[in-house]
Amino acid sequence: MATSTKSPDDVVKPKTKEVLIDGRVYDVTKFKHPGGSIINFMLDADATDVYREMHYRSKKADKVLKALPSREFGSKESDKKQFFTHGEVPAVNDDVSTAAPDSSENEDELAAIKVEERKKNAERLEKNRARNEKLMKEFRELEEQLKKEGIFDPCIPHVIWRMIELVLLHMI
């Protein structure tokens, strides 16, 4: 019985699952989220705001996050492309069957059009990336400003009033 050996190039490596949170890229490939597969919605995306909203009071979540393998955002050249892609335009469809050329002249025209479409797509993607980065930065600045003003701090008398109101409504 002959055995075949695979070279290291033949072995398919699983895709690394990563999320960006507060300027660090976390590898969540082996992480089992208590909420199930919900974490998959934020793979290869900036999950900072989602993490803050869902785990703002959880010290355990912070401990788990710190225990995950991580690296500084920007330590890889592909980081900006990988994590700031929300709102991007889909790639141009390269299906040649949509326009069956009759001659080589039409094929050249079709190829030139595709090249131009790809350039336009690349420009749109870059504009969207820049706009998304700016929007996220402005959102975080606004959030910090509102926190400093105390907008998110609970008002205990108001909470008590609302609880009394609920109890009275259920009694009536």
Nearest 5°: phi and psi at 70? -150, 170
Rounded to an integer, the average pLDDT of 33-46 is 86
Is residue 43 domain-shared with residue 108, that is, in the same domain? no
Domain count, the chain: 2
Q: How confident is the model at residue 156 (pLDDT cuts 50, 70, 90)?
A: very high
pTM value is: 0.51
Q: Can you give the residue range of the structural domain that contains 54?
A: 15-83
Rounded to an integer, the average pLDDT of 102-128 is 75
Kind and range of the H or E element at 113? helix 104-149
Residue that finishes a domain, picked among 83, 112, 131: 83
Which pLDDT score is estimated for 10?
A: 54
Q: Assign residue 27 the CATH number of its domain.
A: 3.10.120.10
CA atoms within 13 Å, Cβ hemisphere of 91: 4
Q: What is the pLDDT of residues 57-111, one digit of tens each?
A: 889 999 999 999 999 988 888 877 777 654 444 444 444 444 444 555 667 777 7
Report which of residues 131 and 147 the model is more confident about.
147
Q: What is the mean pLDDT of the chain?
A: 78
Q: What percent of the chain has pLDDT over 70?
A: 78
First-last CA distance in the chain: 83
